[in-house]
Amino acid sequence: MRLTDLETDALNELFNVGLHRAAASLSDLTGKRVTVDLPRLWVCSMDELKERLVEVVTGDLATVHQFFGGAIAGDAVLMLEYVKAVQLADLMTGGDVALGGRLDESAREVVAEIGNVVLSSCLGAFGNMLRVAVSFAVPRIQIESLDGMMRSVVIERERGTPYALVAATRFSLEGLEISGFLIVVIGVKSLELVSRALTERVG
Out of 6, 54, 56, 176, the residue judged to bind other proteins by CB under 8 A: 6
152 is a site residue for other proteins (CB under 8 A) = no
138 is a site residue for other proteins (CB under 8 A) = no
23 is a site residue for other proteins (CB under 8 A) = yes
Smaller CB separation from other proteins, 4 or 58: 4
Asked whether 79 and 180 are in contact (CB, 8 A), the reply is yes
21 is a site residue for other proteins (CB under 8 A) = yes
196 is a site residue for other proteins (CB under 8 A) = no
Smaller CB separation from other proteins, 5 or 177: 5
28 is a site residue for other proteins (CB under 8 A) = yes
Out of 40, 102, 196, 201, the residue judged to bind other proteins by CB under 8 A: 201
Residues 61-100: x/- map of binding to other proteins (CB under 8 A)? ----------------------------------------
Smaller CB separation from other proteins, 33 or 102: 33
Residues 37-56: x/- map of binding to other proteins (CB under 8 A)? -x------------------
16 is a site residue for other proteins (CB under 8 A) = yes
C-alpha distances in Å from residue 141, one per residue of 47, 64, 163, 177, 180: 22, 4, 25, 21, 15
3-state SS, the chain, equals CCCCHHHHHHHHHHHHHHHHHHHHHHHHHHCCCEEECCCEEEEEEHHHHHHHHHCCCCCCEEEEEEEEEECCCEEEEEEEEHHHHHHHHHHHHCCCCCHHHCCCHHHHHHHHHHHHHHHHHHHHHHHHHHCCCEEECCCEEEEECHHHHHHHCCCCCCCCCCEEEEEEEEEEECCCCCEEEEEEEEEHHHHHHHHHHHHHHCC
Which residues of this protein are in contact with other proteins, per CB under 8 A? 5-6, 9-10, 12-13, 16-17, 19-21, 23-24, 27-28, 33-34, 36, 38, 128-129, 198, 201-203
